[in-house]
Amino acid sequence: MVEPFRYDNPRSRLAKGLIGWFGLYQAGHFIFNGSYLIKQGGIPFASPPDGWSDQLVGLFNAMATADLINAALSLGFVYGYFRRKQWWFWLGTLTLTVSIYAAVVFTVGTISAGAWRNHVYEYLVFYIPFIPVIVLFVLLPFWVGRERDEDRA
């Protein structure tokens, strides 16, 4: 028998798929940000017509460092979830919040700099893989205390 769709079940196939995707997404982030910080080359995104300002380069460098740390913690969250560690939920809440915040700051920075003006499709490609992360962020609050209920049943 196929289990009916339940958005509030933290052990559903949907939840496992979203958290697995988040792990893959953050593993890519870890590799990308780590190599960017080691190389310290130019900003690897399509630039605005006038190039990147020094202030935005500094912001992106700081964001890459924070994102690298968040990616490592996110991988810990994914590990904790699949190993049923008690701390997976609070670490997931932290890392998903940081991920959403970083996406908003990155978006505001790149749009305000004018980078999207001639490169809309290049930037939108960054956001397609992020859609499941947003869904995970929205569903996570519904899972509060549910896993303990599932374990008791």
**pLDDT digit string, tens, across residues 76-85:** 999 999 999 9
State the total domains in the chain: 1
What contacts 24+ positions apart, CB below 8 Å, involve 3-7?
Answer: 7/139, 7/142
In a domain, 28, yes or no: yes
Compute φ and ψ for 118, nearest 5 degrees.
-110, 5
Q: Are 33 and 39 in contact (CB under 8 A)?
A: no
User: In this structure, is residue 140 part of a structural domain?
Assistant: yes
> What is 39-67 written as a DSSP string?
H--S-SSPPPTT---HHHHHHHHHHHHHH
Confidence category of residue 152, pLDDT binned at 50, 70, 90:
very low
Task: Check residues 146 and 54 and name the one with the higher pLDDT.
Answer: 54
Q: What residue numbers bound the domain in which 126 lies?
A: 13-145
Q: What mean pLDDT comes out for the span 58-63? A: 94
Is residue 151 domain-resident? no
Within a domain: residue 135?
yes
Residue 81 within a domain: yes
Rounded (5°) CA angle 65-73-15: 130
Helix (H) or strand (E) holding 37: helix 13-39
Q: How many CB atoms lie within 10 A of CB 83?
A: 8
Per the domain annotation, does 2 fall within a domain?
Answer: no
The mean predicted confidence, pLDDT, of the chain is: 91
Q: Which two tokens stand for residue 33?
A: 């940000």
